[in-house]
Amino acid sequence: MNTTRTTRTTHTHTRMFQTLRTIVIRVSDLAAAKVWYAKATGATPYFDEPFYVGFDLGGTELGLDPNSGMPGVGGTSAYWRVQNVDEALAHLLAIGGTAQEAVHEVGGGIRVAAVLDPFGNAIGVIEIPGEGGTPPAAAESHP
């Protein structure tokens, strides 16, 4: 058994993909899902609107979305936090990803996009103004 650990190197540049930031779960009954996930996590939503409910679970968002796709197997999407969603989407497409969701704003200057990897898995990217080196004013420069 090899117990040797590899030493992590610190890069002087910022990596495009920073941290897994958001998991979105598609639900058919937002009110019931909100109650269930509040019980499951022991948390109350920090964002609670008819179109989306968000829980902050230690810096990772668990989002409930009644408006995008079918719930069930394959009904969960993970979003990697990035500084620039346009650059990240272009990178993923350049290395063989297939566009699934064009760049669009989902509120508050937050922008998302998604691709399918070559194996059929959805990979989302999310740009949140004020997080991960993205200046809050950056959202104002995007249409």
Residue 7 counted as domain residue: no
- Structural domain of 86: 17-141
pLDDT recorded at residue 40: 84
| Domain total of the chain | 1
Per residue in 51-74, is it b (16+ CB within 10 Å) or e — as a string?
Answer: ebbbbeeeeebbbbbbeeeebeee
Q: What is the largest CA-CA distance in the chain?
A: 54
Look at residues 27, 83, 17 and name the one whose alpha carbon lies nearest to residue 55. 27
Secondary structure of residue 37 in the 3-state scheme: helix
Residue 24 counted as domain residue: yes
Report which secondary-structure segment, H or E, holds 24.
strand 17-26
Query: Mind listing the pLDDT tens digit for each residue in 89-105?
Result: 999 999 889 999 999 99
Residue 123 counted as domain residue: yes
CB 22 within 8 A of CB 79: yes
Structure tokens at 125: 């990217």
Residue 5 counted as domain residue: no
pLDDT recorded at residue 39: 93
Residue 8 counted as domain residue: no
pLDDT recorded at residue 134: 64
Query: Mind listing the pLDDT tens digit for each residue in 19-74?
Result: 888 999 888 889 999 998 899 889 999 999 999 999 999 899 999 999 866 666 67
Query: Mind listing the pLDDT tens digit for each residue in 114-138?
Result: 988 876 778 899 999 988 666 665 4
Residue 97 counted as domain residue: yes
Residue 62 counted as domain residue: yes
Query: Mind listing the pLDDT tens digit for each residue in 61-82?
Result: 999 999 866 666 677 788 989 9
Residue 11 counted as domain residue: no
Residues ≥6 apart with Cβ < 8 Å to 90? none
The CATH number that applies at residue 127 is: 3.10.180.10
pLDDT recorded at residue 132: 67
What is the pTM assigned to this prediction? 0.66
In terms of Cβ atoms closer than 10 Å to its own Cβ (0-12, 13-18, 19+), residue 125 is: buried
